[in-house]
Structure 1
Amino acid sequence: MLDRAVIDALFPADLPEPEHWERRYPARQLDDGAKVTRFGPSPTGFVHIGGIYAAMINREVSTRSGGVYLVRVEDTDQAREVEGALAQFARAFEYFDLHPDEGDDRGDYGPYHQSQRESIYLTYVRHLLRQGKAYLCFATKDELADISARQQATKLPTGYYGKWAIWRDADPADVAAKLADGAPYVVRFRVPDDAVGQRVRFTDAIRGELEHEANRNDTVILKSSDTALRLPTYHFAHAVDDHLMRVNLVIRAEEWISSVPLHQQLFAALDFEPITYAHIAPLMKQIPGGKRKLSKRKDVEAGVDFYIEAGYPARAILYYLRGLANGRLAEVPLDEALAAPIHLDQCGVAGPLVDLVKLEDISADHIATLSSTEVYDAVHTWATQYDHELASVLDAERDLALRAISVEREGVDNPRKDLRKWSDFRGAYGFFFPQLFTPLTGPDDDRLTPVGLTPEVATTFAGDFAESYQQLDDQPEWFNQIRELATKLGFAPSPKDFKKNPDAYPGSIREASQLVRVALTGSTRSPDLHAITQALGPDEVLRRLRALAS
């Protein structure tokens, strides 16, 4: 074991003792049963939808219990940090209203970026070194590779442990010589001698009693000494931060289950009170022949920006995610599900499937319950960021937009469900706006092909209809204008009559109404035609009819 003076010389002279940090971050004054949870995003890539899933559960559990939910940015791996990742976190938390009780701009237990907590970690690394529970390791990359190769050749578990841990019980003189030479080193945790070959048990708040092999590896807890900023590895930072931030429930992905034995060892070595873990199953994707984890690299829907940029309403997504967490919540209405608690003991251990078709159905149902003003405001907010042309049009044509959105929505039992997300608005409603709609400029326009009328008939009908057109409030009276003109021009009174003798008629009343529909909307599929004309107004109706007739 190294002399204390040698150890202390490795650290800043003014580095506080552990007692300083214990006083700086006292136990929280919370009611019994209150849960302090944390979400720890790492800025090494974009935000996974599974991160929002985990953050939602963390905040839900802490809030319901009268506890605290905090966000701690785990940025110790600065070499892999991705530019813009932190801004994306902020954007995602804002979009889903998952603001923490404590984080960057609030809270007494910060800093909430691990890269800003260097002196805290160094205090506890020094503490373990002084107690002989950690040691300096000068093993080179080549030496570590050689150890791993020899272990594999003899079919032994790979790692730095036992006799393979070549600096674990090094002579202090050899350590001093290395330090004198300025050799770079890391600090490793000294696994208790009785841990190798043992099994440990712990209770998971979701999965119940679990048993795993005890950690055997002397894990690196402080990265190389040849870096300007001495930062710990995730495992050590996690133990120190969760203790000092007084976290008592860690809800995280199941991939961390295998790390629990190491984390338990670290907590014990540091004399920290153990905390409870809850490991949630990963979000999955259906693939031919089975399913797999939703992948950042393979699946566009894994990224949170996919949902934000497409304009899925946040409440619809949160409702869907809550149903994945607790199946009972998928069976109740959205408002009820968002108000109901999530129970950890009702979280499944098999990864739930992310189904975009199901999500779009949920989203369409939710949007159908919103008022025209609510839809307008949401679309406008989305378009301001992602469709500037549409945002400008909505600014200029607010009244028209509200009339358009209200078609087959206001005052009906079964409102339209053609909006599944805000990016659908241009395709579903764009034809209402003169700035976004290109009128048919004659019978050769491809959009007219599905109607099935000859060019001459199409232009004649459109011209005559424009000539006699009246903007009538009563729908049957309005439609009778089409019927009377169709009769005058020799159209069949019904599709059935036309089908019996197609050579006798230029078309039927169906083709006549579809001609008007395409002239006004550019498509054979649209909402109620009379309602469209009421939203457009007579001047715009005539402009579009005359464009076709020209």
Structure 2
Amino acid sequence: MLDRALIDGLFPADLPDPDHWEQLYPARELPEGARVTRFAPSPTGFVHIGGVYTATIAKDVAHHSGGVYFVRIEDTDQSREVEGVAAQFGRAFEYFGIASDEPTDAPWGPYLQSKRELIYLSYVRELMRQGLAYPCFCTREELAEMTKRQQATKIPTGYYGSWARWRDADPDEVAAKLAAGDDYVVRFRSPGTEGRVSFVDAIRGRLEHEANRNDVVILKSVTQSPRLPTYHLAHAVDEHLMRVNLVVRGEEWISSVPLHLQLFAALGFEPPTYAHVAPLMKQESGSRRKLSKRKDPEASVDFYVDAGYPAPAVLYYLRGLANGRLAELPLEQALTTAISLDECGVAGPLVDMVKLADISGDHIATLSGATVLDAVLDWAAQRDPELVQVITNNRALAERAIDVERVGVENPRKDLVRWSDFRPVYGFFFPELFDLVSDPADERLGGLDASLVRKLAADFADSYRYDADQPTWFGQIRELAGRHGFAPSPKAYKQDPDAYPGMLRDAANVIRVALTGSTRSPDLHAVAAALGEDEVVRRVRALVG
């Protein structure tokens, strides 16, 4: 075992002992049974929608138990940080309501692990003083050669037992290495037990896993500044000092629990309860796989924010994946009903974008026109400035447009699924965004003779009057079709198709395409009402030439 003075000389002279931090971080005054949870993303990559899923569960469980939820950024691996991630974190946390309950100056901070260097160093030093951690001078090349030899002999790879070169090295040799200024890391002295360890998971019940035998690195290279720990040591120290008693995280961490329990025991900490969430999955070619940020656009949180999926719809969908019963409740009720860890499945739920689109469309259909427009404006502020200007300059028209087939009908239209759909769905209402149909031979007009199209358009424009009564209003088109020789009914047309240029619907299609640019549109009478007489005439007259 190394001399205490030698150990202490490896750390700042004024480094506090662990008791300092124990007193500085107070116990939380919470009701019995309250859960303290956290969401702990790493800035080595953008937020995955699975992170929102996990954070939603963690925050909900904390709140319904009378506890606290916070966000801690695990930025100890600074060499792999991705530029722009911090800003993306902020967008994601705000959009989906998973920001921390606690201000950044709360007593349990800092909430950036890179700002907690001295805390970690105190506990690493204490482990070294107790002989539970030691310096290791192995180079990368030496470790790679060791792994190669282990693989060749078909034994488990790792730094353990007789393979742990510096675990029981002569103190004089260690002192000489330190005196020479050789680079080193600090490793945890694992109990080295074999067999299996069991623990109770709040989602999965009792689990068994192979015990940890490896002397893992807990403090990175002495050349690093700031000198930060690995995830494992930071996890144990932070959950303890920040008084976390329920760790909700992805199932990929299950294999680390034996090591983490060893660290908690070595540090003298009470371990938290673990709840390992199954990953979100995707159906592909008849099989299931994890939703991948590399392969699947919908895996990134920015996909939902940039497309403008309403956050309540996405959260409702995710909560339904966590607890199936919530998917059977109305949206508002499901968003406030507690998520039960007992009901979280152990098989990864499938992400179905078609289902999400249905949910989103249903949700938007319940919103007032003013609410929809405000949401579109908020979304478009950073993504479609032209649309913001158009809606702002034509607010009354926008309100009339958004109400078409939404107000006063039993089944309101649901073709607006995301805020980014507003331009393609409603853009034709706005003169600034609508391209006039001026070619009478345009294929959207159904192949009618161009001269006939011009006559229809001119006749309609010359005589058009808006009428609030739909049958009376449509009577203009019926009369127009009759004046220009169109069949009065499908039956008449079928009996003698050569006698007519087309049917009533063909004549109506000319007006529809002139007004909307499409052969399919919302109710034409409602569209005409929203546009107003002058705009209707202007659009139809464009076909006259």
Tell me, which stretches of 5 or more residues in structure 2 are unaligned?
Answer: none
Give the residue type in structure 2 aligned to 1:138: F
Q: Deviation at 1:444?
A: 2.8
Q: Which residue does the alignment assign to 2:502?
A: 507
SS at match of 1:135: strand
SS at match of 1:548: coil
Q: Deviation at 1:73?
A: 0.2
Q: Which residue does the alignment assign to 2:146?
A: 147
Moved more, 205-214 or 498-507: 498-507
Q: How do 1:369-448 residues align onto structure 2 when only pairs under 5 Å count?
A: 369-448=366-445
Give the residue type in structure 2 aligned to 1:133: L
**In the alignment, structure 1 residue 537 sits paired with structure 2 residue 532:** yes
Q: How do 1:261-340 residues align onto structure 2 when only pairs under 5 Å count?
A: 261-340=258-337
**In the alignment, structure 1 residue 174 sits paired with structure 2 residue 169:** no
Q: Deviation at 1:304?
A: 0.4
SS at match of 1:385: coil
Q: Which residue does the alignment assign to 1:118?
A: 117
Q: Which residue does the alignment assign to 2:17?
A: 17
**In the alignment, structure 1 residue 256 sits paired with structure 2 residue 253:** yes
In 2: Cα distance, 1:3 partner to 1:446 partner = 89
Preserved CA contact (<8 Å) 1:159 1:217: yes
In 2: Cα distance, 1:106 partner to 1:117 partner = 14
Q: How do 1:5-404 residues align onto structure 2 when only pairs under 5 Å count?
A: 5-102=5-102, 105-193=104-192, 195=193, 197-404=194-401
SS at match of 2:379: helix
Tell me, which stretches of 5 or more residues in structure 1 are unaligned?
Answer: none
How does the TM-score come out when normalised to structure 2? 0.99
Q: Deviation at 1:97?
A: 1.6
Identity of aligned residues (%): 68
Runs of 4+ in 1 over 4 A off after TM superposition: none
In 1: Cα distance, 2:323 partner to 2:370 partner = 32
In 2: Cα distance, 1:350 partner to 1:500 partner = 61
Preserved CA contact (<8 Å) 1:204 1:279: yes
Q: Deviation at 1:386?
A: 1.3
Q: Deviation at 1:90?
A: 0.6
Preserved CA contact (<8 Å) 2:279 2:290: yes
Give the residue type in structure 2 aligned to 1:13: A
In 2: Cα distance, 1:258 partner to 1:82 partner = 26
Q: Deviation at 1:336?
A: 1.3
Preserved CA contact (<8 Å) 2:17 2:122: yes
In 1: Cα distance, 2:190 partner to 2:312 partner = 47
SS at match of 1:408: coil
In 2: Cα distance, 1:378 partner to 1:446 partner = 36
Q: Deviation at 1:106?
A: 4.6
Q: Deviation at 1:205?
A: 0.1
Q: Which residue does the alignment assign to 2:483?
A: 488
Moved more, 67-76 or 492-501: 492-501
Preserved CA contact (<8 Å) 1:495 1:510: no
Preserved CA contact (<8 Å) 2:26 2:107: no
In 1: Cα distance, 2:164 partner to 2:359 partner = 55
Aligned pair partner of 1:472 in 467, 476, 483: 467
In 2: Cα distance, 1:496 partner to 1:113 partner = 75
SS at match of 2:126: helix
In 2: Cα distance, 1:393 partner to 1:446 partner = 29
How many residues align structurally?
Answer: 545
In 2: Cα distance, 1:303 partner to 1:81 partner = 17
SS at match of 1:31: coil
**In the alignment, structure 1 residue 455 sits paired with structure 2 residue 450:** yes
In 2: Cα distance, 1:26 partner to 1:473 partner = 70
In 2: Cα distance, 1:499 partner to 1:184 partner = 91
Give the residue type in structure 2 aligned to 1:185: Y
Q: Deviations over 1:23-65 (max 9, x none)?
A: 0002111111000000001001111000000110010000000
Q: Deviations over 1:282-325 (max 9, x none)?
A: 00000113110000111111000001111100000000000000
Give the residue type in structure 2 aligned to 1:28: R
Aligned pair partner of 2:514 in 506, 519, 533: 519
Give the residue type in structure 2 aligned to 1:540: E
Q: Deviation at 1:102?
A: 2.1
Preserved CA contact (<8 Å) 1:498 1:507: yes
SS at match of 1:292: strand
In 1: Cα distance, 2:492 partner to 2:418 partner = 41
Q: Deviations over 1:195-218 (max 9, x none)?
A: 1x1311100000000011110000
In 2: Cα distance, 1:428 partner to 1:500 partner = 38
Give the residue type in structure 1 aligned to 2:432: Q
In 2: Cα distance, 1:210 partner to 1:227 partner = 37
In 1: Cα distance, 2:436 partner to 2:69 partner = 54
Q: Deviation at 1:107?
A: 2.1
Preserved CA contact (<8 Å) 1:284 1:294: yes
Preserved CA contact (<8 Å) 2:34 2:67: yes
Preserved CA contact (<8 Å) 1:432 1:536: yes
SS at match of 1:203: strand
Preserved CA contact (<8 Å) 2:441 2:449: no
In 2: Cα distance, 1:502 partner to 1:474 partner = 32
Give the residue type in structure 2 aligned to 1:201: S
How does the TM-score come out when normalised to structure 1? 0.98
SS at match of 1:250: strand
Q: Deviations over 1:46-101 (max 9, x none)?
A: 11000000110010000000111010000000000011101101100111122211
In 1: Cα distance, 2:105 partner to 2:291 partner = 33
SS at match of 1:212: strand
Give the residue type in structure 1 aligned to 2:35: K
Give the residue type in structure 2 aligned to 1:257: I
Preserved CA contact (<8 Å) 2:62 2:68: yes
SS at match of 1:14: coil
In 1: Cα distance, 2:442 partner to 2:386 partner = 25
Q: Deviation at 1:373?
A: 0.8
Preserved CA contact (<8 Å) 2:441 2:448: no
SS at match of 1:420: coil
In 1: Cα distance, 2:393 partner to 2:242 partner = 51
SS at match of 2:411: coil
In 1: Cα distance, 2:11 partner to 2:47 partner = 36
CA RMSD of aligned residues (A): 0.9
Preserved CA contact (<8 Å) 2:209 2:258: yes
Q: Deviations over 1:247-295 (max 9, x none)?
A: 0000000000000000000000000011100000000000113110000
